[in-house]
């Protein structure tokens, strides 16, 4: 059965390209909504109109000299122009690459040189100011296109002028656009994505049309969703998850994307769209649970008791389904109303990935009828390589391989993966592409895991992040951190202990949940920094550490901890743009605090 499903996916994806699918949508679904922005009037851009805009920009970029195979960097927020510019380059056979807006000038300089881009597209004057010192020393970048700006000189143009010139060219000769996209082949690159670089320089991952389309085909065949699905896009387009769910899957399904440009309005976006599927990185789900818990803590006791009773029944049914039993899902009206307030009442497949999520968070969400299903993969596997599905899942695992994908474990537990979702390779500085697989097609992922008898994969750690204490004991920091983060007060935690006699931890408070928790207990501290030293908060964190230690072996237990006064963000450097921990940065930045932890505990 699995083989036939893999064959069906391969046959469906064979020969397709993103431009061919967009042509189909404009032909067969011209009047269906394709793209709009949350809260912005004027209606959605239809598939017919969207393709026209792509054609105009494509001809305009060609006029600037963008050729097949050329790289083009985009630094822009989530807005329609981002989608249109990206697709315009793709229709020329060029390779768009979105870069994170949180990158430093030094990091941007590296990408500019490494990508060998000759055209960059920037959002506005703020982005231009950050790029100005790079442009002065990178003559290879011949053209700079500004979305929000009208400045024009020999190198700098406005996007509106590029579009206007492209529209005139297209109307005079529409055949040039049609000829260009028809020459694009499935094996050619569709995008270049730079990894977050947790330990070193980012790697430029080259993904093909076949990679991304095969991913969308497997999603269609593993998760049943309505035709022309309506989805909410809120992650940066430099993130592989958003590129699949916000660009390529909607094109394949002729769906409707609503852009949520401000993550603070995510719940409002969910309520507006009420999507059937939604992918949230763990921090999104953790914050959602913290918000629910805060609201229920302030609710009428009778209402809270009714919700708790409904949650208990719902959670029991979930546990039985996770064990493989065919048990109907209870749907108490009081929980249905709670999900409706979150915009999750039509949810078929809520997913999580990109980092570990505490099992306690999964169970809490399941108790209100939101079965968040974990996936696993990486940019190099075009997003998901394994997936839990509504009909077959296991709590705490990241699911089973996607159709056509193979996984196995190396002798040291490292996960190896092979199949049609593995990327073309890494871009070399000379413009070539370096394979990421061995001679047998296996990609060494750097993740460590286990596979149970039913084929479900569980991630236990990153190979390079294992702690080896001074006694030679291998310890998983991710397991410790996961247990600590299960407490709603804790946003982030880092376990320390490599080459040391015992484990300690640095802990960061949740900037939203902590003040709510404190206010409910009459604590007057009004900042995260003040709460980090409050005796009641420290007592609660100590209890959370004790609870985590109760589920850990003695060498894994946290002996002492430090609550830090400020949060970690991509801007401050401790997190990557995809919210992964940069452990080396944390340990270097807090070296004094770490030393004090070991002196204090002696």
The DSSP symbol for 411 reads T
φ, ψ dihedrals at 461, nearest 5°? -175, 175
User: What average pLDDT is seen over the chain?
Assistant: 91
Residue 385 located in a structural domain: no
Which among 261, 218, 214, 211 has a CA at the least distance from the CA of 38?
Answer: 261
Cα dihedral 419, 424, 428, 430 sign: positive
pLDDT of residue 3: 64
Does residue 100 belong to any structural domain of this protein? yes
The whole-number pLDDT of residue 1 equals: 47
Locate 551 and state its tokens: 């589920």
pLDDT in the model for residue 357? 85
Residue 63, C-beta contacts closer than 8 angstroms, at least 6 positions apart: 162, 165, 166, 169
Judge whether 434 lies within some domain. no
By three-state DSSP, how is residue 161 classified? Answer: helix
Task: Tell me the DSSP string of 77-103.
Answer: -SSHHHHHHHHHHHTTT-EEEE--TT-
CATH number, domain containing residue 559: 3.30.300.30
Look at residues 224, 241, 273 and tell me which one is the last residue of a structural domain: 273
CA-to-CA distance for 54 and 92, rounded, in angstroms? 11
CATH number of the domain bearing residue 190: 3.40.50.12780
Q: Which two tokens stand for residue 582?
A: 């940069």
Q: Which residues contact 455 (CB under 8 A, 6 or more apart)?
A: 400, 401
The pLDDT of residue 468 is 75
Distance between CA atoms of residues 44 and 254, nearest Å:
13
392 belongs to a structural domain: no
Distance, CA of 492 to CA of 260 (rounded, Å): 25
CA–CA distance, 484 with 489 (Å, rounded to integer): 9
Per-residue DSSP letter, 283: H
| 294, HSE (Cβ side, Cα atoms, 13 Å) | 19
CB-CB contact of 487 with 505 (8 Å) = no
pLDDT of residue 478: 82
The burial of 204, by beta-carbon neighbours within 10 Å (0-12 exposed, 13-18 middle, 19 or more buried), is given as: buried
What is the Cα 583 distance to its own chain's centre?
19
**Domain-located, residue 35:** yes
Domain of residue 589, residue span: 466-601
Tell me which residues of the chain have a pLDDT lower than 50.
1, 198
User: Which whole-number Å values give the CA distances from 383 to 205, 295, 379, 464, 592, in the listed order?
Assistant: 12, 34, 6, 21, 38
Distance separating alpha carbons of residues 293 and 308, to the nearest angstrom:
11
Count how many domains the chain has. Answer: 2
Residue among 381, 364, 380 at smallest CA distance from 372: 364
348 belongs to a structural domain:
no
Condensed to tens digits (0 to 9), the pLDDT of residues 557-578 reads 999 999 999 888 888 888 877 7
Which pLDDT belongs to residue 2? 57
The string of DSSP letters for 457-524 reads EEEEEEGGG-EE-TT--EE-HHHHHHHHHTSTTEEEEEEE-TTSSSEEEEEEE-TTHHHHHHHHTT--
Q: Which of 239, 273, 307 is the last residue of a domain?
A: 273
Pair 551, 465: CB distance under 8 Å: no
pLDDT of res. 310: 95
- Beta bridge mates, 256: 230
Domain-located, residue 511: yes
C-alpha 300: how far from chain center:
37
Using CB atoms within 10 Å of the CB of residue 93, give its burial: 0 to 12 exposed, 13 to 18 middle, 19+ buried: buried
> Does 262 fall in a domain?
yes
Rounded Cα distance between 89 and 76, Å, is 15
* Structure token digits, residue 563: 């609550």
Q: Please check whether residue 354 is in contact with residue 281, taking contact to mean a CB–CB distance below 8 angstroms.
A: yes
**Total residues found in the chain within this entry:** 602
Q: What phi, psi does 474 have (nearest 5°)?
A: -80, 130
Phi, psi torsion values for 300, nearest 5 degrees: -60, 135
**CA gyration radius for the chain?**
25
Last residue of a domain, one of 230, 258, 273: 273
């Amino acid at each position: 059965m699995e083989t036939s499903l893999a064959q069906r996916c391969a046959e469906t994806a064979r020969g397709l390209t993103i431009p061919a699918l967009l042509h189909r949508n404009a032909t067969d679904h011209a009047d269906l909504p394709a793209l709009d922005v949350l809260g912005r009037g004027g209606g959605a851009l239809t598939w017919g109109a969207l393709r026209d805009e792509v054609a105009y920009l494509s001809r305009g970029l060609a006029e600037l000299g963008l050729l097949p195979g050329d790289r083009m960097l985009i630094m822009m927020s989530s807005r329609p122009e981002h989608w249109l510019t990206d697709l315009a380059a793709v229709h020329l056979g060029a390779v768009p690459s979105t870069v994170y807006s949180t990158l430093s000038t030094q990091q941007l300089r590296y990408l500019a040189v490494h990508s060998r881009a000759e055209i960059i597209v920037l959002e506005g004057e703020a982005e231009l100011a950050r790029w100005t010192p790079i442009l002065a020393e990178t003559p290879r970048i011949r053209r700079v296109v500004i979305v929000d700006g009208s400045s024009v000189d020999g190198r700098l143009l406005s996007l509106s002028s590029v579009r206007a010139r492209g529209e005139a060219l297209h109307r005079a000769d529409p055949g040039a656009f049609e000829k260009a996209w028809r020459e694009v082949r499935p094996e050619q690159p569709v995008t270049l994505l730079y990894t977050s670089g947790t330990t070193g320089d980012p790697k430029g991952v080259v993904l093909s049309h076949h990679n991304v389309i095969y991913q969308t085909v497997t999603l269609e065949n593993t998760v049943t969703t309505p035709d022309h699905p309506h989805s909410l896009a809120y992650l940066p387009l430099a993130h592989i998850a958003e590129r699949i769910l916000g660009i390529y899957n909607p094109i394949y399904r002729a769906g409707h994307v609503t852009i949520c440009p401000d993550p603070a309005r995510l719940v409002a976006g969910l309520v507006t769209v009420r999507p059937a599927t939604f992918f949230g990185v763990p921090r999104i789900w953790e914050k959602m649970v913290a918000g629910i818990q805060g609201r229920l803590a302030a609710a009428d006791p009778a209402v809270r008791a009714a919700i708790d009773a409904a949650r208990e029944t719902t959670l029991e049914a979930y546990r039985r389904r996770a064990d493989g039993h065919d048990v109907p899902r209870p749907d108490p009206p009081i929980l249905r109303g709670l999900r409706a307030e979150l915009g999750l009442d039509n949810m078929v497949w809520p997913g999580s990935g990109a980092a570990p999520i505490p099992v306690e968070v999964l169970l809490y969400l399941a108790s209100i009828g939101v079965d968040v299903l974990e996936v696993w993969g990486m940019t190099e596997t075009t997003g998901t390589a394994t997936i839990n599905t509504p009909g077959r899942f296991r709590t705490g695992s990241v699911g089973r391989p996607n159709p056509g994908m193979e996984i196995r474990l190396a002798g040291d537990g490292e996960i190896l993966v092979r199949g049609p979702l593995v990327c073309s390779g890494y871009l070399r500085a000379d413009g070539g592409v370096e394979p990421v697989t061995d001679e047998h097609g296996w990609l060494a992922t750097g993740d460590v895991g286990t596979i149970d008898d039913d084929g479900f994969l569980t991630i236990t750690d990153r190979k390079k992040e294992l702690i080896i204490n001074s006694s030679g004991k291998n310890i998983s920091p991710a397991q410790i951190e996961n247990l600590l983060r299960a407490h709603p007060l804790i946003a982030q935690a880092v376990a320390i202990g490599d080459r040391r006699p015992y484990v300690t931890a640095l802990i960061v408070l949740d900037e939203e949940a902590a003040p709510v928790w404190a206010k409910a207990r009459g604590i007057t501290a009004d900042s995260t920094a003040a709460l980090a030293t409050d005796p009641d908060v420290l007592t609660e964190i100590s209890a959370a550490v004790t609870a985590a230690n109760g589920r850990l072996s003695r060498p894994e237990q946290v002996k002492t901890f430090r609550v830090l006064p400020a949060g970690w963000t991509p801007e401050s450097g401790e997190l990557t743009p995809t919210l992964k921990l940069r452990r080396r940065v944390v340990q270097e930045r807090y070296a004094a605090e770490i030393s004090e932890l070991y002196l204090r505990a002696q």
